[in-house]
Copies of this chain bind each other. A is one copy, B any other.
Amino acid sequence: MKWSVNAGVVDTMWAMVEELFPIHRTLVNDGIRNSLELIRSSLDIAIHEFPSGMHVWDWIIPEAWNVNQAYIADLSGRKLVDFRNNNLHLAAYSCPFQGRLTKAELLEHIWTLPDQPDAIPYRTLYYKENQWRFCLAHDELSLFNDDDQYEVCIDVDLRPGKLCVGEFVLPGKTDKEIWLTSYLCHPSLANDNLSGVALAVSVMKTLASMPDRQYSYRLLLWPESIGATTYLASHEQILEKVVGGYVFTCCGDAGPITYKKSYFGNTLIDQAALHALRYADRGNYSIRDFWLNGSDEQKFNAPGVRLPFGSFMRTPYSEFPEYHTSKDNLSFISKDQLAEILSVVLKALFIADTNRIYEPLYKGEPFLSKHGLHRQVDLKRPDRKSLAYIQRVLTMETDGHNSLLDIANKWDYHFDDILDESIIFSQAGLFKALN
């Protein structure tokens, strides 16, 4: 049975994006926890907590940062810039501040994007102490007059808290695992990365409804980078079971589907993704070698872990102008675009999961007539799409070493064509699966 996307899952995926969008999230705060709880209403994830100050490999879990209020007001009390209107206005992990500043003083604490004057940038002050910044649309600078003074209020709590990781484990026939991960530490940004979070959850929901999974699957949602490091450092003992995985990010925009290969470039998870894209019959897709400046795939592929993780996305993060601005909002992404990448990811996972290595239970070539499997070949005009031809591919290649995907790639067949006939041979007692 092939794995396919259920329309209900797509609707739920989109609803999840809409519900999560307004919530203010950062590395460690209440918004992350609230977001994970909201997700739990759709998929029964566990929420694990790791305390601030915990040493995780070379890193330390930061404190929780929650915003009570943050604004810039004129002296009449009118709020010119207010975190409540857009949670991008305050750079993440800004320190508390209360005071009256001139425009000139204020400008030293304001980030804008002069090239995109109507967009608010998303910026962070992670691992920097005693700094604060407001982020504004460049056009909003006209709100301020040179001669006036302004009241700045940054009322934030920075105190020990808990880094939260959402996890869902779907057991398979074997304890070998494929991981599906995304990060939800960004505030109101849609493509980066609520699209990835919702996609990852939807992939897992679909997998859970499929019978007969070979691998176990583990969904992991966390704050980017520190969340991955925290989890890896706390789960070293299970890493040897991990076959690889995919990181989902920026999956909802209108660009072509892009697969970023793992550091290794040619592992099962890479081959499955490449095959799925090649045969997805969409024409327009992009395959890229592993590059630096990435998301959590950097952590997985890094020395000391060296697990093959690729990444599914549409337009890569740094290549769309809306990236890390207020323009990366719900209108920048679409349900259809999310649904399309969901179906490709499921195809890749189906290939990875059903990619058997068979050993023949006969020597030489099987006597197909005897097994009721003989199909006539037109010797003068052999048709490589015919089942008779595919039988010959299978019987020549199935030797206990070549996987179905190896065979499909070598002879340029769709994986499903090889798989379907291999199942018939297996059911006829001609093949024995080795994995």
Contact = CB atoms under 8 A, between A and B. Distances in A.
Interface in A328-369: 360, 362-367, 369
A107 interface: no
Given A58-B363, A305-B364, A364-B57, A324 B395 contact: no
Contacts of A318: 379-382
Contacts of A363: 57-58, 232-233, 302-305
Contacts of A324: 379-380
A350 B103 CA distance: 55
> Copies per complex?
3
A58 B393 contact: no
Contacts of A369: 127
A377 B365 CA distance: 57
A292 B365 contact: no
Nearest to A381: B318
Contacts of A127: 369, 374
Interface string A288-318: 0000110000110111111000000000011
Interface of A: 57-60, 127, 229, 232-233, 263, 292-293, 298-299, 301-306, 317-318, 323-324, 360, 362-367, 369-370, 374, 377, 379-382, 389, 392-393, 395-400
17 contacts: A57-B364, A58-B362, A59-B367, A60-B367, A232-B364, A263-B396, A292-B392, A293-B382, A299-B364, A303-B360, A303-B364, A303-B395, A304-B363, A304-B364, A305-B364, A318-B382, A323-B380
